[in-house]
Structure 1
Amino acid sequence: MSEYYELKLGELTRKLPLIRLNPTLTIASFVLLGDAELTHYAAQKLSEQITEPFDYIVTMESKGVPLAQELSYCMGKKRYIVLRKKVKDYMKNPRVLSVNAITSSQDQVLVLDGEDAQIIAGKKILLLDDVISSGGSMITAKKLVEDAGGQVILQAAILAEGEASERKDILYLERLPLFD
């Protein structure tokens, strides 16, 4: 097996290192952080496909943040919401849920600041991440949004990994395979 997977996203190409997570699963490691060119390109392409009106983008810390920033700008949104990975001292009445993601060997949490929960109550929400794989993070994020009174109208990502690429309820730009 090669040490890399070549990802083609429109006119861009990236060599993603293959990382063995366990004896039966290897992934192509997609790290959006620091890749301004790809982030901008992906946000533009996603913005062209998002037709349903929404009020706020909600994303997960940390790799979804640059994409949310760029997509917010492309779509004329002045603010987006970040679900954090731990409770911060500045948060008021944080809402916390556990999540099990494919790229983490242990359970993590997603945290919605209580002030952000008030902002999204009664609003239409676009859930955004860099990669959707098992869907665990999106399921947890959706529950946090809905528990706060927000309505998730679309789930989107740059890449859909493995079986996620067969889902009809998400918007994504390119498929990312899993490897044995």
Structure 2
Amino acid sequence: MADLLLHSAAAVVTMDDDPAATGQGPIAGGWVAVRDGRIAAVGGPGDPRPDADEAVDLTGHVVLPGLVSAHQHSMDYLLRACTTQPADFPGWLAAPGQPRLGGTDDSGEGAAEMADERATYRATVGSQEIDLPLTPISDDLTVALLMTIDVGLTFIRQAGADLAALLAPSRPEVVVSAATLGIPVAIEVSRALGLDDYVILQKTPKAHLADALTEPLQSITTGVPQRLLLDRARVPAVAGRRVALVDDVIATGGSIAASLRLLRAVGADVVTIGALLVEGSGWGPALGDDAALVTALGRIPVFRPTSGGALAEHWD
């Protein structure tokens, strides 16, 4: 006898590392039995279901048994046991209502598919295109979210090479970026420029940063005040040297402005600023004269709701 039976799910995602070998991939129409707060059994539509004190019909829903995580990327977990070939996706992934991919408009800037709240926006990043999920930041603001730690090595390596080619004429001697999403950009731009060192401005006060130089900032996607920290041991790497400051996306310009203040306070000569994308145009006034230093591989808008509830692109 189970305490709880979750049944008729669109898919029970088993998280098996090798579903082809074990046959334990996502179970369409599956069920999960819970007893004493623990998973007692998992089965498919053809398996006998135990009696339970409470039964919940999860038709149209996805179940992840045993997931306990304070920080998790739901789509990564959902897709872990599935093929990467779209034609072979299970029915619950291919069903109507799933994210739609945006196309490219005549201007080449990209176009958003607004058919549902999980739409994506197709952006051009140098020589590549990528579909970015539209992510609500507040009731009146949605952004196309680029997560450089989730796009794969091939994409970020090519993006780094594309950006390095644009920054090279400024003859930077060292590349600087801010944690965390700027780290892959700094690595690949440095590699493409033939540089063997780069500097990361941290945001977490680790033990070795007790006496770090600091500068306050606030990010559009974080929403809470933060600090940039420069390890004093890394000051010689930037002081008196030609610096290329790079980032993933320049949105409000707040992070770049804080980075500039911190670097210039120790005598760095920031000769160029590079980004994979710039978002909207609000970053320009925020950077003032330093906006002229910015070079980006592409532009994306922000999105705001219309009176009818749809999302509209805003470039200003």
Q: TM-score, normalised by structure 1?
A: 0.93
Residues 5, 17 of structure 1: 8 Å contact kept = yes
Residue in structure 1 matched with residue 78 of structure 2 by the alignment: none
Residue in structure 2 matched with residue 53 of structure 1 by the alignment: 171
Distance in 1, matches of 2:275 and 2:129, equals: 17
Residues 57, 80 of structure 1: 8 Å contact kept = yes
**1:174 aligned to 2:310?**
no
Residue in structure 1 matched with residue 228 of structure 2 by the alignment: 110
Residues 199, 237 of structure 2: 8 Å contact kept = no
What does residue range 59-138 of structure 1 map to in structure 2 within 5 Å?
Answer: 59-91=177-209, 93-138=211-256
Distance in 1, matches of 2:283 and 2:163, equals: 16
What does residue range 33-44 of structure 1 map to in structure 2 within 5 Å?
Answer: 33-34=149-150, 35-44=152-161
User: Structure 1: which 5+ residue stretches go unaligned?
Assistant: none
List 4+ stretches of structure 1 deviating above 4 A. Answer: 164-167
**Larger radius of gyration between Structure 1 and Structure 2:** 2
What does residue range 125-164 of structure 1 map to in structure 2 within 5 Å?
Answer: 125-163=243-281
Residues 271, 293 of structure 2: 8 Å contact kept = no
Query: Mean Cα displacement is larger for which, 13-22 or 56-65?
Result: 13-22
**1:13 aligned to 2:115?**
no
For residue 40 of structure 1, what is the amino acid of its counterpart?
R
Encode CA deviations 1:79-129: one digit per residue, 9 max, x unaligned. Answer: 000000122212363111110111111111110000111321111111010
Query: Mean Cα displacement is larger for which, 158-167 or 122-131?
Result: 158-167
Residue in structure 1 matched with residue 144 of structure 2 by the alignment: 28
Residue in structure 2 matched with residue 4 of structure 1 by the alignment: 120
TM-fit CA distance, 1:13: 2.7
Query: Mean Cα displacement is larger for which, 23-32 or 2-11?
Result: 2-11
For residue 154 of structure 2, what is the amino acid of its counterpart?
E
Q: 1:92 to 1:119 in 2, by over 3 A?
A: farther
Encode CA deviations 1:51-89: one digit per residue, 9 max, x unaligned. Answer: 111111110001111111111111111100000012221
Identity %: 27
Aligned residues: 180
Instruction: Name the structure, 1 or 2, with higher relative contact order (CA <8 Å, separation 6+).
Output: 1
